[in-house]
């Protein structure tokens, strides 16, 4: 039950290292924003660093040229193609500031899916030879997110969770939806009650799909004995495993 996390941390590349420093050297669980960056740098991590790549800058430029579409806004009216945005009820009071109907249609019809090319979550669980379990998740967040957005990555029980007595879980996908269900906490608690990893993972995904049938996401589950499985919805999911007995990493494919 030792946890450390950072969110909305800019200018520092090593998110997992920063989260570990929060766990090791503070009595807090989560640090955010500029102060999280300042903390990480003060603890010896490299920074401040420009983390933009030519690829990300090019993608952002094309997005701006496409009138900032797609995006994560809803029930709003933009003053122009890229905002500022206002709630519809406020905008209707001052008619004449709205953009074209075509732009509104584009905003309203935006798919909420998180696909293979617009997020980059990595979650990993490790069991040492003494049986201690650690799990961590790192992500750059959803592409085209609203500034200030925090997804499920730093939320304990959502993107990852572990208990030495039971096992661990990691998650990836549409974090804005998945974090509402704490799927990894659910997986570990289901295994605690006797479910095998496969059934626990499937149960957690089904709980989300019942409420949000169009969501995209996946979890992996591993119990304290090393038995592992995955479950997914909306895409084909792959995860890799390596144990001391294995000569190389093995990739497992899970179908919806």
Please identify every residue annotated as catalytic: 121
How many C-beta atoms surround the C-beta of residue 210 within 10 A?
8
Asked if residue 118 has pLDDT above 70, the reply is no
Q: What is the mean pLDDT of residues 80-87?
A: 87
Query: CA-to-CA distance for 207 and 85, rounded, in angstroms?
Result: 33
110/150: higher pLDDT: 150
Query: CA-to-CA distance for 104 and 226, rounded, in angstroms?
Result: 50
Residue 56: strand, helix, or coil: helix
Query: CA-to-CA distance for 39 and 245, rounded, in angstroms?
Result: 40
Asked if residue 115 has pLDDT above 60, the reply is no
84 Cα distance to chain centroid: 26
Asked if residue 12 has pLDDT above 50, the reply is yes
The DSSP 8-state label assigned to residue 87 in this structure reads: E
| Contact present, 234 and 214 (Cβ < 8 Å) | yes
pLDDT for residue 98: 43
Residue boundaries of the structural domains of the chain? 5-42, 54-108, 122-254
CATH code of domain 122-254: 3.60.20.30
90 band by pLDDT with thresholds 50, 70 and 90:
low
Q: What is the pLDDT of residues 195-225, one digit of tens each?
A: 999 999 999 999 999 999 999 999 999 999 9
115/67: higher pLDDT: 67
pLDDT for residue 107: 38
pLDDT for residue 78: 77
| Contact present, 33 and 51 (Cβ < 8 Å) | no
pLDDT for residue 119: 58
83 Cα distance to chain centroid: 25
Find out whether the peptide bond into 158 is cis, omega within 30 degrees of 0. no
Question: Across 121-249, where does the E strand assignment appear?
Answer: 122-127, 133-138, 160-163, 167-173, 217-223, 228-233, 237-241
pLDDT for residue 99: 46
113/87: higher pLDDT: 87
The region of weakest confidence among 7-11, 28-32, 82-86, 207-211 is 82-86
Query: CA-to-CA distance for 210 and 198, rounded, in angstroms?
Result: 18
Asked if residue 128 has pLDDT above 90, the reply is yes
92 band by pLDDT with thresholds 50, 70 and 90:
low
The DSSP 8-state label assigned to residue 28 in this structure reads: -
* Antiparallel, parallel or unpaired: β 5-7 and 30-32: parallel
20 Cα distance to chain centroid: 18
């Amino acid at each position: 039950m030792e946890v450390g996390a950072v969110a909305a941390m800019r200018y520092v590349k090593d998110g997992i290292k920063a989260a570990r420093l929060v766990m090791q050297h503070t009595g807090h669980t989560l640090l955010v924003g500029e102060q999280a960056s300042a903390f990480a740098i003060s603890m010896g991590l490299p920074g401040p660093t420009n983390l933009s790549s030519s690829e990300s800058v090019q993608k952002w430029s094309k997005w701006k040229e496409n009138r900032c579409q797609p995006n994560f806004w809803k029930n709003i009216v933009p003053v122009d193609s890229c905002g500022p945005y206002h709630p519809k009820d406020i905008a209707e009071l001052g008619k004449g500031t709205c953009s074209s109907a075509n732009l509104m249609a584009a905003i309203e019809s935006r798919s909420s899916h998180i696909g293979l090319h617009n997020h980059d979550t990595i979650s990993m669980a490790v069991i040492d030879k003494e049986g201690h379990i650690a799990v961590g998740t790192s992500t750059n967040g959803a592409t085209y997110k609203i500034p200030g957005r925090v997804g499920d990555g730093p939320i304990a029980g959502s993107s990852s969770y572990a208990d030495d007595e039971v096992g661990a879980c990691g998650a990836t996908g549409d974090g804005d939806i998945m974090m509402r269900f704490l799927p990894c906490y659910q997986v570990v608690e289901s295994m605690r009650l006797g479910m095998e990893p496969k059934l626990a993972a499937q149960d957690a995904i089904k709980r989300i799909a019942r409420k949000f049938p169009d969501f995209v996401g996946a979890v992996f589950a591993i119990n304290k004995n090393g038995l592992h499985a995955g479950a997914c919805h909306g895409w084909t999911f792959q995860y890799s495993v390596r144990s001391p007995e294995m000569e190389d990493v093995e990739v497992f494919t899970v179908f919806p």
